[in-house]
Amino acid sequence: MTAPSPAAARPCMGWFNRTVAGAGLTSALGDFCYETTTVILPGFLAVLGVPAAVLGVIEGTADAVASFTKMVSGYIADKLGHRKTLVLVGYGLTPLGQALIAFATGWPLLLAGRLVSWFGKGLRGPLRDAIVTQAVSPETRGRAFGFHRAMDTIGAVIGPLLGVSLLGWAQTWGWEDAAGPFRLVLWLSVIPGVLAVLAFLALVRDPERAPNPALTVVGAVRDLPARFKRYLGAVGLFGIGDFSHSLLILAATHLLTASMGVAQAAQVAGLLYVGRNVVQVAVSYPVGVLADRFGSLPVLAAGYALGTLTAFLTALAFWSGTDSVPALGAIFAVAGLYVAVQEALESTVTADMVEPDTLATSYGALGTVNGAAKFISSTAVGLLWTALSPLVAFGLAALFMAAGTWALRRTARR
């Protein structure tokens, strides 16, 4: 039986259909689960006595695992023609990783839990994006992905906000172990992770494509358009500076500790991250509308420029030694702006540049480049922070992000 074409698979009701809504709800629940860990992990590491260099290695290694998983999962999906089962497995691994982190007493189990969660994230990401892409028309991709990323970030707002509140509440219980309140929040975060699996299973319809058994990884990558390869080069260059925002939370924690103490500083830093996510929710859909009107590539280049500004301002904060919450809040707000653009539009630019029969593979290639670059960035920023200074670490990140922005602008002009 011949698989439905992308056009046939698009519902007549427009871009806001069951699949887009279901994928958005699933992402909101998934982010509720693992972003709660993101916001409390730096404080959890602090009470366990784990240094910044280890956090950088953990986050960088997790990003690397996710990136290479994206390449493999995208290839398998294009070769076999179906994707939904792999996406369900990917979402199921996230709460499993949370449970491993909750058991941790040192960095090895923390690393294991983060790897399991990020393996699941890598497995599901490109396949879910390919399903959403084929559920809408090319003219409305920006809006569909803007909505999806907004829903994704709603979970990233509610989860950390509730997590920080629960952490403050649990700290009044009189734990013998300072890590106890953190473990409680981690266990509670497993619940929305399980609900994400059920939501995707029940709501999302996959417009499966005909299998392509002759497809090979080398052949698929070799045949990608030259312009798309240049685009991947710019994404990778920017990504080498695009450090994990767990390190941004840790930066705020360090800057505020002298005036607040580590526990309160960790809570305030977590709330600043929530503020970053609120900004991301607010602008994700408008960013998609702008991209549909003016083109995804120019808007993405503007977002990359904001990413460069984020790293520069973080370095400036360490140079001045600021402990001003409003000043740090401004940095997190700029970070929310650039992440909204980046997450909404990198996928739409990809869809505009490649053929439909290699869409999942192309998303996998994008994820691989992003993850590999972020492995270098997060690891390097953490190590340079510990070995030299955070000023050097974030300053170097800003230089690479600026170079990536310049390369992307050249790609847009071509």
Mean pLDDT (whole number) for 370-386? 81
Of 383, 405, 244, 251, the closest CA to residue 313 belongs to 251
Question: pLDDT above 70 covers what percent of the chain?
Answer: 88
The three-class DSSP label of residue 50 is coil
pLDDT, mean over the chain: 80
Q: Band the pLDDT of 6: cuts 50, 70, 90.
A: very low
Does 213 have pLDDT greater than 80? no
Of 389, 377, 256, the closest CA to residue 324 belongs to 256
Q: What whole-number distance in Å separates Cα of residue 62 and Cα of residue 64?
A: 5
Which DSSP category does 2 fall into? P
Close Cβ partners of 183 (under 8 Å, ≥ 6 residues apart): 102
Select the highest-mean-pLDDT range: 118-122, 173-177, 297-301.
Answer: 297-301
Residue 59, judged by CB atoms within 10 A of its CB (0-12, 13-18, 19+), counts as buried
Mean pLDDT (whole number) for 15-39? 82
Q: Are 206 and 129 in contact (CB under 8 A)?
A: no
Q: Band the pLDDT of 11: cuts 50, 70, 90.
A: very low
Domain boundaries, the chain: 18-204+226-413
Query: Which of 87-96, 197-206, 261-270 has the least mean pLDDT?
Result: 261-270
Q: Band the pLDDT of 216: cuts 50, 70, 90.
A: low
Q: What whole-number distance in Å separates Cα of residue 93 and Cα of residue 273?
A: 24
Farthest-apart Cα atoms in the chain, separation = 67
Does 8 have pLDDT greater than 60? no
Count of H helices and E strands in the chain? 16, 0
pLDDT at 1: 37
DSSP states of 62-127 as a string? HHHHHHHHHHHHHHHHHHHS--HHHHHHHHHHHHHHHHHHHH-SSHHHHHHHHHHHHHHHHHHHHH
Of 87, 184, 187, the closest CA to residue 127 belongs to 87
Q: Are 358 and 228 in contact (CB under 8 A)?
A: no
Mean pLDDT (whole number) for 330-342? 92
Q: Are 372 and 236 in contact (CB under 8 A)?
A: yes
Mean pLDDT (whole number) for 318-334? 90
Does 12 have pLDDT greater than 50? no
Q: What whole-number distance in Å separates Cα of residue 269 and Cα of residue 254?
A: 9
Homologous superfamily (CATH) for 18-204+226-413: MFS general substrate transporter like domains (1.20.1250.20)
φ/ψ of residue 323, rounded to 5: -125, 25
Select the highest-mean-pLDDT range: 102-106, 265-269, 395-399.
Answer: 395-399
How many CB atoms are closer than 10 A to CB 263? Answer: 18
Q: Band the pLDDT of 5: cuts 50, 70, 90.
A: very low
Taking the mean position of all CA atoms in its chain, how far away is CA 226? 26
Q: Are 377 and 397 in contact (CB under 8 A)?
A: yes
Mean pLDDT (whole number) for 140-145? 77
Close Cβ partners of 172 (under 8 Å, ≥ 6 residues apart): none
Exposure string of 174-192, with b = 16+ CB inside 10 Å and e = fewer, is eeeeebebbbbbbebbbeb
Instruction: Choose between 343 and 80: higher pLDDT.
Output: 343
Close Cβ partners of 186 (under 8 Å, ≥ 6 residues apart): 36, 37, 40, 44, 98, 99, 101, 102
Residue 356, judged by CB atoms within 10 A of its CB (0-12, 13-18, 19+), counts as middle
Q: What whole-number distance in Å separates Cα of residue 236 and Cα of residue 233?
A: 5
